Amino acid sequence: MSVEQTYSWLGKAASIDDLAHYIVPLFSGVEQKNWKGILGHLQHHGMFKNIKEGIHTASNLKEKGFYEHIQKEEQYLKNKWQGPDVPIVTLPVDERNRRIRLEFGSKSGLAFQDKMFLFLSSDLDFASVSALMTHEYHHVCRLDHLTKEEKDVTLLDTIIMEGLAEYAVYERFGRSQMAEWTSWYTP
């Protein structure tokens, strides 16, 4: 795994579109001309939308040691679960998004079999980041062992995967770091 130094990407970007150069190659088989769809998908899942705010947040994430913390978490989780090496792309969260702020605590993530995205606010504490990484890396490990084709994954499969990832958070941190949605419904 490698923690991508995305603050340097943002330091060179004049617009969000400039990030496509770094992000699209992470999606094997996708042509550079399809960058809008990929960036749109990431923004739908929590990636920032305002370049100036993104640059500011990325700088704060670096200054506060988030990248080093993510690197330590990466090693811990990889060793604990004998998981695969995947790039970890940390980008600022869209803090203007009310739902992400209120329901997800100003953080979000997106996992694939071969990569992981973390969308973070620089106001988070490290425990929240560790919980998010536990959840998302659990998905990476499950997807790595999944025998179904993506087109054959059912809603039930997805519900079970989400529940197992949150249970991994519960085992590691207790209820305090579990996602809010886990308490929305009674048994």
What would the pLDDT profile of 141-160 be if each residue is shown by its tens digit?
999 988 888 889 899 999 99
What would the pLDDT profile of 22-58 be if each residue is shown by its tens digit?
999 999 877 777 788 899 999 999 999 999 999 999 9
What token pair was written down for 178? 């579990």
Residue range(s) defining the domain that contains residue 83: 2-183
What value does the mean pLDDT take over residues 65-82?
Answer: 96
Domain count, the chain: 1
**Residue with the two structure tokens 């504490």:** 125
CA distance 93 to 50: 10
> Which pLDDT score, from 0 to 100, does residue 1 have?
57
Burial 97-132 (b: 16+ CB within 10 A, else e): beebeeebbbbbbbbbbebbbbbbbbebeeebbbbb
Q: Residue 168 to residues 38, 100, 130: CA-CA distances in angstroms?
A: 28, 22, 11
Determine the angle formed by the axes of helices 126-145 and 66-81, rounding to 10 degrees. Answer: 40
Give the single-character DSSP code of 150: G
Please report which helix (H) or strand (E) contains residue 88, including its range: strand 87-92
